[in-house]
Amino acid sequence: MFCWTTTWAASLPDFTELVKESSPAVVNISTLQKNDELSTPLGQFDLPDSEDVPEIFRHFFRNLPPSQPGPRKAPESLGSGFIISADGYILTNHHVISEADSVMVRLNDRRELEARVVGSDPRSDIALLKIDSDDDLPVVEIGRSKDLEVGEWVLAIGSPFGFDHTVTAGIVSAKERALANETYVPFIQTDVAINPGNSGGPLFNLEGEVVGINSQIYTRSGGFMGLSFAIPIDVAMDVADQLRAQGHVQRGWLGVIIQEVSRDLAESFGLDKPAGALVAKVLADSPAQAAGIREGDVIIAFNGQGISLSSDLPHLVGRVKPGSEARLDIIRDGKHETLPVTIGLLPEEAAAESSPERAIAVANRLGLKVAPLTAEQREQWQVRSGVQVTEVMEGAGAAAGILVGDVITMLNGSQIETVEQFARIVEALPQERAVPVRIVRRGSPLFIPLKITE
């Protein structure tokens, strides 16, 4: 009789040789902050009660209390890193060394060396350091994160709470995870125990190759709760190569604001299933505008790679060298089209951009009153056309979530120019079928599905 438990237990990995071979290249990183202030030592901070802490993704040191001014002391342990070349280049997280006045690296043999910050990239949370040594330093072996499989064993080495060379293990829980405010990193999710101090340390596969950099945890308490996230080493090494060569990172840019395609939006756009990236806004003078991309297009593939979630698109575009040609597959008006586009350079701050007429009530179908936009409103909300909602009554508009102050710029594929045109489009809307409505709410564009059920 097959015994799954016995077979599985017999196949559990032995990490001892991996740890022996890889630990010498893992380092502890400590810093002294600017203004002669010292960061609070790890393990000596208080957090609010768990019920007061929102469920958010945190960098490991984002909720420490402010440092206290005082005399300069010895640096305190903040994070981890690993040596990628025998001449002393080290990878860690940007947030470990950001705002540091000086950075100290403690090696496996207890030597402490001051490091120079070669470059740092906040968008990917990667920093490249350099130390000088008279002898060749131990190095890690770099793997390929794209070859990882969900369920595969992985191991972390770092300095949680200052305990050097602590080893924890687990499995890959998911790949290509998109986290809030982290647009350009497709994170590796694991259940490896990660705590403050592991940040910047390596994630190994069973071959002893680094496949990721431990960067974030999902927590309500400030400690490990079973959800850890690592930056793929493929992404990290590309960033490191650019930092080493030019001191900064260049990323591809399309110039669109996108949103997720829900089930109702998929129905309203005539899609078979909720997938792709819905273009809510095309930025002026952007590669997307030059390529002819329109608001309401649904991008379903980039260079032949399918877009399942809208968060997939920035990852793919960001990896493309600016100036390169790319191909977009889109759904427009229910039809498949392919558009060529020349990818631009991501700006430093890539941002998400008539005579008076009487208000017209369209309560008979939507339960809305709308009014024309003034010149000041067009400038304030950065819209070229549309109508502003002045009153919301019971009806399809309220059910769709439309609010007073929303600017309706597109309805069922038609650009809204005047209140009279808006009223005509409303009267022609089908019943019992969702149609897309594009609104601008306090400057942010958004598509929502609207269905008339009279």
Residue closest to 268 by CA, chosen among 247, 236, 296: 296
β-pairing, 228-232 vs 182-190, is antiparallel
Residue 125 annotated to the active site: yes
Go through 310-347 and write b for each residue having 16 or more CB atoms within 10 A of its CB, e for each that does not.
bbbbbbbbbbbeeeeebebbbbbeeeeeebebebbebe
- Pick the catalytic residue from 80, 124, 199, 215: 199
- Pick the catalytic residue from 121, 125, 164, 297: 125
Task: Provide DSSP, 33-68.
Answer: ESTTEEPPPTT------GGGS--EEEETTTTPPPPE
Q: Where are the alpha helices (DSSP H) in 203-340?
A: 233-246, 263-268, 287-291, 312-318
CB 362 within 8 A of CB 391: no
Cα separation of 138 and 84, whole Å? 8
Residue 95 annotated to the active site: yes
Question: What 3-state DSSP class applies to 224?
Answer: coil
Cα separation of 225 and 204, whole Å? 20
- Pick the catalytic residue from 94, 95, 297, 311: 95
End-to-end CA distance of the chain: 63
Residue closest to 441 by CA, chosen among 257, 232, 297: 257
Other CB atoms within 10 A of residue 51 CB: 6
Q: Where are the alpha helices (DSSP H) in 206-351?
A: 233-246, 263-268, 287-291, 312-318
Cα separation of 129 and 115, whole Å? 6
Q: What beta strand segments (E) does 365-450 contain?
A: 368-372, 387-392, 407-411, 414-415, 435-441, 444-450
Residue 101 annotated to the active site: no
Cα separation of 8 and 107, whole Å? 37
Phi-psi region of 270 (alpha: psi -120 to 50; beta: other; left: phi over 0): left
β-pairing, 252-253 vs 344-345, is antiparallel
Cα separation of 263 and 278, whole Å? 12
Known catalytic residues? 95, 125, 199
